[in-house]
Copies of this chain bind each other. A is one copy, B any other.
Amino acid sequence: MINQYEDQTKCLVALDSIIFGFDGEVVKILLVKRGIEETATTWSLMGGWLRPEEDLENAASRILNELTGLENIYLEQLYAFGAPDRDKISRTVAVVYFALINVKDYDEQVSDSYEARWFALDDLPTLLFDHQEMINKGIEKLRYKAAQHPIGFELLPEKFTIPQLQKLYEAIFNSTFDKRNFSRKFLSTGLLKKLNEKQKGHSKKGAFYYQVDSDKYQSQFNSFLNFTRF
């Protein structure tokens, strides 16, 4: 048979993470300045190497934490990239993970102690290697998932308004929706609890805050195949 363990090419295995964030207006991506030799000034996704004792997902979490301070972020595997020339220095296979977070929840730790910065989706710098391709794939998957699940909740503060939620979906889909239809759809899921409190400052009238009913969210998560696509 063909499989032998001897004499096979060994590769470096890299983990890269795409962190999507929302700040109330636009969807952003977190990038770091990566100090690899001559590419020291290139922005890149948060990446690092797999260690012998680590699972892929654990490694991605660890690396993300080392580079940004972020902890306990749920990472989902996106895709493996392995073109022979994707990294000129050494043959590397990269497994890419992605996550969604609310920018404001993590803003301080991210920008204070680390060389990490948020970039709006339509204002990304030139990126290392094939990281732009990775991001394109990530956006595609983000849209796909957001159309299937009310996943957007993870990108918002605990208390949020319907107009904020709509802005998020409009940012993800780079599109606009009718506000009557939009709120009807989300309210009809039964996943939102209306609070007795209004957002102040943003508008004169103020918008009611809502919270995710997280019990219902968990239990319905798997039956959302019928969730709206716009």
> Residues of A with Cβ closer than 8 Å to B?
1-3, 5, 8-13, 34-36, 40, 47-56, 63, 66-67, 77, 79-84, 89-91, 93, 95, 147, 225-226, 229
Bound complex: CA A122 to CA B95 (Å): 31
Q: Check B93–A35 contact: CB distance below 8 A.
A: no
Residues of the B chain whose Cβ atoms lie less than 8 Å from the Cβ of A34: 1, 3
Contact pick for A82, options B8, B13, B47, B67, CB 8 Å: B13
Residues of the B chain whose Cβ atoms lie less than 8 Å from the Cβ of A225: 147, 229
Residues of the B chain whose Cβ atoms lie less than 8 Å from the Cβ of A147: 225
Residues of the B chain whose Cβ atoms lie less than 8 Å from the Cβ of A12: 5, 8-11
Residues of the B chain whose Cβ atoms lie less than 8 Å from the Cβ of A90: 5
Known: A8-B12, A50-B11, A147-B225. A35 touches B1 (CB 8 A): yes
Known: A11-B11, A226-B229. A48 touches B2 (CB 8 A): yes
Q: Check B1–A36 contact: CB distance below 8 A.
A: yes
Contact pick for A80, options B1, B5, B80, B229, CB 8 Å: B80
Contact pick for A77, options B55, B80, B83, B89, CB 8 Å: B80
Q: Check A95–B80 contact: CB distance below 8 A.
A: yes
Bound complex: CA A147 to CA B229 (Å): 14
Q: Check B3–A35 contact: CB distance below 8 A.
A: yes
Bound complex: CA A8 to CA B90 (Å): 11
Bound complex: CA A225 to CA B31 (Å): 31
Least CB distance from A22 to B in Å reads 22
Q: Check B67–A84 contact: CB distance below 8 A.
A: no
A9-B50, A9-B51, A55-B83 known; 10 new pairs, CB 8 Å cut-off, are A1-B34, A2-B48, A2-B63, A3-B36, A3-B47, A10-B13, A11-B12, A13-B82, A50-B82, A55-B84
Contact pick for A56, options B47, B63, B80, CB 8 Å: B80
Residues of the B chain whose Cβ atoms lie less than 8 Å from the Cβ of A51: 9
